[in-house]
Amino acid sequence: MAAAPADDPAVLVDFYRTMLLVRRFEEKVGQMYGMGLIGGFCHLYIGQEAVVVGMDAAIRTDDAVITSYRCHAHALVRGVPPAAIMAELTGRGAGVSKGKGGSMHMFDIERGFYGGHGIVGAQVPLGAGIAFAQKYQRRDNVTLVFFGEGAANQGQVYETFNMASLWKLPVIFVIENNQYAMGTAVRRAKAGTELCHRGEAFGIHGVQVDGMDVVAVHEASRGLVARVRDGEGPMLVEMQTYRYRGHSMSDPVKYRTRDEVQKVRERQDPIEQLRARVAGGGTIAGAELKVHALVLQKNPGGGCGSSRAEPSTMRR
Ligand SMILES: Cc1ncc(C[n+]2csc(CCOP(=O)(O)OP(=O)(O)O)c2C)c(N)n1
């Protein structure tokens, strides 16, 4: 997707279609995991769609993205064909990583997608390395480095902040604060300031954004991307978001109530929020949303979680 003003109805319809694609894809993955058609570890992105969709629309196709194991959506928005991701999940040679990476390790370098990393936080220094190469080769590209609020407590993140700032690397550090690191709520794990301020000691400007509002995500991202591309050096954004499903497919979710999840769904769901904003009034855009919703039909069997556990010896 090319960057375009977020008040353009065509852009909003595009955001809606892409968020719906991500959601329906992930629901299908959850269903197939439950049927035993997908093996290994599997982390769904349902609830967080606005973050990748709004941010990807603010960068160019020749820019770079790197993220954690919760990576299906990031690959989808970069333009990796859904069939290649599904083939990867089901361990086939037609998969985007030739069926050898699975859910957590998808790569498509031609599309600027550098994974898919199972080691928490490992993608942060790797992402700075990609940004270093962009700058060294005098390309006017940027790198988006996505990581969770749990990873944001790791030492390697701050070593990376130091070097990225020192070398004015063209990188945006994106903390996807989905409120839980496995079963640990952010309020139990985070000391000190808001996460958006964590780069300030290194001279890295940070902002906090409502990551459930795709328009807010996109507008904030456009501003940050323009500044980073102009050579201002690294920036940080904390996206306040929420994951609806368990940490992974084997998570029984005992650390929060169903009521908590239900309230977020009812009040903040990113897809529903955008639908309410665009739909109605007999507009062409409103009609288009309905068409997209019909094409990407809700998967009737895609309920909550799976009856089948991940490998129990090494739960992630
Ligand atoms: C170095 C390392 N430590 C621990 C783990 C186990 N682990 C997997 S995911 C996770 C929680 C990470 O939470 P967060 O960074 O908030 O990302 P989220 O899963 O919420 O997207 C942990 C501790 C790991 N994979 N790698």
DSSP collapsed to 3 states, 62-92: CCEEECCCCCHHHHHHCCCCHHHHHHHHCCC
Which segments of the chain does DSSP mark as H helices, in order? 9-34, 49-56, 72-77, 82-89, 123-136, 155-166, 186-189, 214-229, 258-268, 270-278, 284-295
Rounded CA separation 99/102 (Å): 6
pLDDT averaged over every residue in the chain: 92
What was the pLDDT predicted at 298?
60
Q: If pLDDT is split at 50, 70 and 90, which confidence band does 296 have?
A: confident
The torsion angle over the Cα atoms of residues 197, 200, 205 and 207, rounded to 10 degrees, is: 0
What was the pLDDT predicted at 299?
52
- Best residue among 182, 188, 251 to mutate for probing ligand 1's pocket (most ligand atoms within 8 Å of CB) is 182
Residue 303 pLDDT more than 60?
Answer: no
Query: How many angstroms does the Cα of residue 243 sit away from the middle of ligand 1?
Result: 14
Which atom of ligand 1 approaches the CA of 178 most closely?
Answer: 20
pLDDT digits over 15-61, tens only? 999 999 999 999 999 999 999 999 999 999 999 999 999 999 999 99
Stated pTM of the model: 0.93
Which atom of ligand 1 approaches the CA of 147 most closely?
Answer: 15
Q: Where are the domains of the chain?
A: 9-303
Query: How many angstroms does the Cα of residue 316 sit away from the middle of ligand 1?
Result: 7
Q: If pLDDT is split at 50, 70 and 90, which confidence band does 310 have?
A: low
109: buried, middle or exposed (CB in 10 Å: 19+, 13-18, 0-12)? Answer: exposed
- Best residue among 71, 120, 198 to mutate for probing ligand 1's pocket (most ligand atoms within 8 Å of CB) is 120
CATH class of 9-303: alpha beta
Residue 118 pLDDT more than 60?
Answer: yes
Query: How many angstroms does the Cα of residue 290 sit away from the middle of ligand 1?
Result: 37
Ligand 1, residues at Cβ distance < 6 Å: 68, 70, 118-120, 147-151, 178, 180-182, 247, 316
